[in-house]
Amino acid sequence: MTLDEAWRILQEKQFKRTKNRDTILQFFSENDRYLTALEVKNFMEEDNPGISFDTIYRNLSTFSDLGILEETDLNGDRHFRMQCDPGVHHHHFICTACGKTRSISHCPMEMITVNLPDYEVEGHKFEIYGKCPLCVAK
């Protein structure tokens, strides 16, 4: 997702355009991988030393709710990345060394829900972990 698309969504929902939101989105648009709140904070402190975790988490949650960011739990910590393909269902390979991701378009759900009659499926999680070609080379 581009910065413009993100801001279009935010303004449509009446969210204000603030410096902090700009900086956060900027950071995500430059980093094509899952990031933690701490990484975001470290980046933001460069030009806003007093930034608070409250601000970070509030905005990350907002962005996640609006579908601007994708969110996942890795080792019990929340991680966020720019929504890579809005509206298109997909999964990720996640590099455990550098954090970079690769989209996986195949989703196993259709094949499986057939075998779950009477079950009410609400969601699912499918992620593949390993080393990307670049990190394998090292």
Partner DNA sequence: CGAGTGAATCGTAATGATTCCTGTTTCAGG
Partner DNA sequence: CCTGAAACAGGAATCATTACGATTCACTCG
Contact positions with DNA (CB under 7 A) in 67-86: 76-78
* Nearest to a second copy of 4, 122 (CB atom): 122
Q: What does the DSSP 8-state code read for residue 32?
A: -
Reference 64, options 51, 47, 81; nearest CA is 81
Q: Applying CB under 8 A, which part among 25-33, 54-62, 81-89, 113-121 lies near a second copy?
A: 113-121
Q: Is 51 in the site for DNA (CB under 7 A)?
A: yes
Q: Name the binder of 17 from DNA, a second copy, none, CB < 5-8 A by kind.
A: DNA
Q: Is 57 in the site for a second copy (CB under 8 A)?
A: no
d(CA 70, CA 99): 14
Q: Is 125 in the site for DNA (CB under 7 A)?
A: no
Query: How far apart are the two ends of the chain, measured CA to CA in Å?
Result: 30
Dihedral sign, Cα of residue 110, residue 111, residue 117, residue 123: negative
